Chain A
Amino acid sequence: GDSVTQMEGPVTLSEEAFLTINCTYTATGYPSLFWYVQYPGEGLQLLLKATKADDKGSNKGFEATYRKETTSFHLEKGSVQVSDSAVYFCALSERNQGGKLIFGQGTELSVKP
């Protein structure tokens, strides 16, 4: 079945460092890909999405490019802030499976001043 694999956390960075969180997926069709963020004690919020190959999703300085050839959707940010500390989830959704989201296990990011 479909699945999503993320790099293990926690990831600890200093403020203004470059961030990459790796995400790869397995899917039978042509999924839409998402990054969600979860702040402590809260639900998840959509960070960005891409719906087809070579699409780039971007929001709040974060970017991710849908790479069909490597089945990847890595999250990047050029300069992280303390306020970016959260858990980040990669997810996919396929229309032929009712559109339900399949999540990776999450990657905790901690940014130190």
Chain B
Amino acid sequence: DGGITQSPKYLFRKEGQNVTLSCEQNLNHDAMYWYRQDPGQGLRLIYYSQIVNDFQKGDIAEGYSVSREKKESFPLTVTSAQKNPTAFYLCASSTGVGEKLFFGSGTQLSVL
């Protein structure tokens, strides 16, 4: 079955630690996105990539980094510079600009 796989489902971060969230898609989509979801605040865009080897900052990129070395993969690293990382992180992909997004099932990140 085609889809988007996020892992792990739950992740815990210690103070000063970098952690990486995985996102893989087998839909052959060009565009991929990372959103952060906080209770009562909807979704906010962290980074997006419209094509391999290219990505742009979203609205809340500080403290995060991404790479897009392969079409099917768009990992997100939450660095120690992100002071409030506890949130639900959602990865999505689409065939291109303005098309519908397909979402993964999310990763809940918590700070120990």
Contact = CB atoms under 8 A, between A and B. Distances in A.
Interface string A69-111: 0000000000000000000010001110011111111100000
Given A100-B45, A100-B48, A95 B98 contact: yes
Interface string B20-56: 0000000000010101000011111100101000001
Interface residues of A, number: 24
Contact of A98 (B50, B99, B101, B104): B50
> Range of interface residues on chain B?
20 to 34
B35 to A, nearest CB: 8
A43 B48 contact: no
Contact of A46 (B6, B31, B100): B100
Contacts of B77: none
Contact of A43 (B50, B98, B99, B106): B106
